Amino acid sequence: MAATSAPGTPAWLGAWNDRTALSLLLEHGPLGRVRIAELGEMSKPTASLVVTRLEKAGLIRVDGEATGGQGRPSVTYAARADRVLGVAIDIDAKRMRACLVDALRTDHEIVEIALPAHASERNAVAEVRAAIEAACAPSGADPASVRIVCLGVQGYLDTLDDDHLFTETLPGWPRIGVRKLIEDELGLAVQIDNDVNLAAIAERAFGAAASASNFALLWLGNGLGAALDLNGAIHRGSFGGAGEIGFLPAPQALTGVDGRPVSDLQDVMGGKALVRLAREHGMRGRTLPDILDALATSPARTAILDELAYRVAFGVIPLLAVVDPELVVLGGPTCRAGGDELAELVSKKIRGSSRWSPAVAASTVTGNPILAGARELLVTEVRNELLESVARITA
């Protein structure tokens, strides 16, 4: 907290108590004055003064009444989560998915926005503005209350090189300085992160990796990527490109049965590769979603997953050799379609072809993992912003 008075003075103690009470309301939900005093280890008169200040500043509101025990029901108070908001955005070449984020972790509706097909029609600032307005609309929130956005992109942002954006899925967006451009034009803070990194944050928060000391997340869909969580922190690398394993050269042993040459792991495990693999096994379908929909009931499912597991093991082993994680989580549309069956096959392939033997599990995050991870980041940010506003209260 940015202190406006010396520690130990009445003004400083008042600001400390204000922040403590607001933190308790964010953590526990609605509370009465007596309970705030108990949890905050302050006297009841002090708690009453704190509540009065916070309510006058518009940071809390009357929520209802708490019953129980003798005497009159006591009034309960709740934090005003609408004062500071964030927006989580998952964006690719064709569409954006966005949702509002507040300090109380309210479950806000996810909205989807189609994007123009041609680069000449794309505009980074306009698209982020549209995502903010669309995310606010279902709840009637004021877009002006949005202070920060987090964008999950298929690529990465090199913050040491003038915010150099490395991605193939945002045509028309500037490659240099895009974060500052959006911040300056919209007057808010912007975080841009790799989509798989955000999915790993969700996996750590409430997925298959919740109890792991460290883990690697392998993401398979149209694209291919990995994220590394080392002791609870995402390892992004010196320039932001950690986990871009799709560019790793592929062993020639992984050439498809049609003899098609492969140059990197993207050619081996990406969306086009799986479509070719499925068609080699007699499945019909031109796109990855077509194949994944049909895979559940296809007679070729076991054979396809066995070959895919062989390829995935090749992609995972370099990660094991470098960071030796205790757990490998398989995520993304392709791995979700393979589920526990694919995870078990990958585990067997790794054990049979290398000296490593990590646990391998399918992702258990439901919904959109990228938005879920961005939401986890933003909850912390909007809470901090809300708590910082306590320092600006005047008695």
Q: 363 CB contacts (<8 Å, ≥6 apart)?
A: 199, 203, 207, 208, 217, 329, 330, 331, 332, 335, 336, 369
Which amino acid belongs to residue 145? Answer: S
Which whole number is the average pLDDT over 242-264?
75
Q: Indicate if the pLDDT at residue 154 is higher than 80.
A: yes
Quick one: CA torsion of 272, 274, 280, 283, rounded to 10 degrees? -100
Q: Indicate if the pLDDT at residue 259 is higher than 90.
A: no
Q: How confident is the model at residue 171 (pLDDT cuts 50, 70, 90)?
A: very high
Q: What does the pLDDT look like over 8-57, one tens digit per residue?
A: 577 778 889 999 999 999 999 999 999 999 999 999 999 999 999 999 99
Q: How confident is the model at residue 256 (pLDDT cuts 50, 70, 90)?
A: low
Chain-centre distance for alpha carbon 178: 20
Query: DSSP readout, 43-87?
Result: -HHHHHHHHHHHHHTTSEEEEEEE--SSSSPEEEEEE-GGGSEEE
Q: What does the pLDDT look like over 219-231, one tens digit per residue?
A: 999 999 999 999 9
- Report percent pLDDT > 90 for the chain: 80
Query: DSSP readout, 96-148?
Result: EEEEEE-TT---PPPEEEE--SSGGG--HHHHHHHHHHHHHGGGT--GGGEEE
41 conformational bin, left if phi > 0, alpha if psi -120 to 50, beta if neither: left
At 334, list the tokens. 């392709």
At 308, list the tokens. 């895919």
Q: Quick one: CA dihedral 55, 60, 62, 68, positive or negative? A: negative
SS3 (DSSP) at 222: coil
- Determine contact, residues 61/80, Cβ cutoff 8 Å: yes
Distance CA 325, CA 180 (A): 35
Burial of 317 from C-beta contacts in 10 A (0-12 / 13-18 / 19+): middle
Q: What does the pLDDT look like over 298-313, one tens digit per residue?
A: 999 999 999 999 999 9
At 144, list the tokens. 């002006």
Give residue 391's pLDDT.
76
Q: How confident is the model at residue 295 (pLDDT cuts 50, 70, 90)?
A: very high
